[in-house]
Homo-oligomer: A and B are copies of this chain.
């Protein structure tokens, strides 16, 4: 170990270069969309040859996969932080905070949102199981926390739910059930449905489809949240 805390100069330089490649790639994405992530453009920006990048990422898809992971993790961090920052005693505020953070992140990082949820980049094919199932599951777990917070008030609506544990992916359940042992399958289904609601509105907005219809997508989203909280039966000020 050295003063830099690394395992030698070589490894440190390598890590720095890797970080710079990702940084430049993200900058290109932010300015020109996911399509702008080309090896040659990154190399140009770094004063290198495109092929030099192959020393760090086996292929362009590998790089993109890494980026998706990073960006997805940033999103998960953002919504988790908003959740934690809101008072645990007031589910309505917490839920609203989570969802607002979700939309805000997407609107601020539209290219990141596209990278995660869209066709990321020309010809990109995700590796088996998707590029970021982990971050995806973090988001889903956050959503389940949301549903769990509301569940005492809302479960009466789902008493004849047909959902069983077998309707869900085992990987998701492995994360969700330990965290919320008392939650029934119907609540997980509710969480996924809420995800769909929020994702739909945000996605239409980010991809510019809402813009052709409403001049105020933010207002629409806020209305959605009001109705969501109301639908969940969560008391508005506790």
Stretch of A17-25, A39-47, A112-120 contacting B (4+ beta carbons < 8 Å): A112-120
CB pair A200–B208 under 8 Å, yes or no, is no
A201–B197 Cα distance when bound, in Å, is 7
A176–B185 Cα distance when bound, in Å, is 40
Given A196-B204, A227-B193: A171 in contact with B212 (beta carbons within 8 A): yes
Interface string of A106-143 (1 = CB under 8 A from B): 00000000100111011100100110010011001000
CB pair B192–A214 under 8 Å, yes or no, is yes
Instruction: Check A231 for interface membership: any CB of B closer than 8 A.
Output: yes
Interface string of A22-49 (1 = CB under 8 A from B): 0000000000011100000000000000
A223–B121 Cα distance when bound, in Å, is 33
Chain B residues with CB under 8 A of A201 = 193, 196-197, 200
CB pair B196–A224 under 8 Å, yes or no, is yes
A214–B192 Cα distance when bound, in Å, is 9
Chain B residues with CB under 8 A of A126 = 208
Chain B residues with CB under 8 A of A208 = 126, 130
Chain B residues with CB under 8 A of A35 = 119, 122-123
Instruction: Check A216 for interface membership: any CB of B closer than 8 A.
Output: yes
Measured CB to CB, the closest approach of chain B to A46, in angstroms, equals 22
Chain B residues with CB under 8 A of A140 = 213
